[in-house]
Copies of this chain bind each other. A is one copy, B any other.
Amino acid sequence: MPQTDAEISAFDRATAVTRTEGGGVRADLDPGWDVGNGVLNGGYLLGVVARAALLDSPHPHPVALSASYLRATPGGPADLTVTAGPAGRTLAHSTVVLSSAAGPSLAVQVTTATLGTDRADYTVNPAPRLPGPDECVPTRTSEGGPAVGLARQLDTRLDPATAGWTAGRPSDVRLLRAWIRLADGRDPDPLALLLFADALPPTAFAVGRPGWAPTVQLQVLVRGLPAPGWSVVESRSTEVAGGWSDEECRIWDSTGRLVAQARQLARVAR
């Protein structure tokens, strides 16, 4: 029996793609996933792009997405052009270009494969320890400023150790760490990890320098299937120079296993 709209999570509805009669792929981008000024969140857009790539892939999961953010993407109809590369027994490649009314806004290298729940053979990524979600600082209610759609779609609880800035006590370290899950309780999967990889505010917020930091390129690697429940996301900037900043992101699932890592290059105010 098909699910009714009410049974489908907001994230799944907002990232849905459909095949057009002409063989293309179309999405109706939901303006409710914005980060201000009507601009849609980059992680949300990667979810849409991954769904387009999976339509034709023999493999079920996105494992690596590398995206160039060509220009801001608004809500509304969007066309996705999927150019399939070689597909093998282990993995498949494609290039996906997302275009809205203003033209192409996102070009992405996508690799799909089958992910598992294997424990790591080798890791130097121990899960950080932070107080339970109820002891942390919900960002949904602490934002203050103008309404940002993304903040309503996610339940994000900042580690108090990295939340000083929300109470006027900025840190000198560009580090944010939080529990994260979809607000409607939908459990994480590789698509949701693409969203989580770009869901925290810019790390400049942690040092009391809020502002716009548009993503130039973002690579997300999904390293395993996440367990149900809360995930932990950590974002840090390691180098700010010449008007550019990196943002390093790691995500652990509720069992403490690393399930995604990401790096983006962003422009910053000088």
A-to-B contact residues, CB < 8 Å: 63-64, 66-68, 70-71, 85-86, 90-91, 93, 95, 97, 103-104, 107-111, 115-116, 118-125, 174, 216-217, 219, 221, 223-224, 236-246, 258, 261, 263, 265, 267
Contacts and interface: CB of A to CB of B under 8 A. Distances in A.
Given A263-B221, A265-B63, A120 B241 contact: yes
Contact of A239 (B116, B120, B217, B265): B120
24 contacts: A63-B216, A63-B244, A64-B216, A64-B217, A66-B68, A68-B109, A70-B93, A85-B107, A86-B103, A90-B243, A95-B107, A109-B217, A111-B217, A121-B240, A122-B239, A122-B240, A123-B238, A123-B240, A123-B241, A219-B219, A221-B246, A223-B244, A238-B261, A246-B261
A121 B71 CA distance: 26
Question: How many monomers of this protein are in the complex?
Answer: 2
A125 B66 contact: no
A201 B68 CA distance: 28
Given A104-B85, A217-B219, A265-B63, A68 B111 contact: yes
A174 B124 CA distance: 10
Nearest to A65: B217
A241 B248 CA distance: 20
A115 B241 CA distance: 10
Given A85-B68, A216-B91, A263-B263, A242 B118 contact: yes
A231 to B, nearest CB: 16
Contacts of A121: 240-241
Contact of A64 (B64, B90, B265): B265
A66 B63 contact: no
A104 B148 CA distance: 41
Contacts of A122: 174, 237, 239-241, 245
A227 to B, nearest CB: 14
Nearest to A117: B242
Given A67-B66, A109-B68, A109-B217, A125 B263 contact: no
A223 B103 CA distance: 29
Nearest to A267: B90
Contact of A261 (B125, B239, B267): B239
A207 to B, nearest CB: 8
Given A63-B265, A217-B66, A267-B90, A240 B109 contact: no
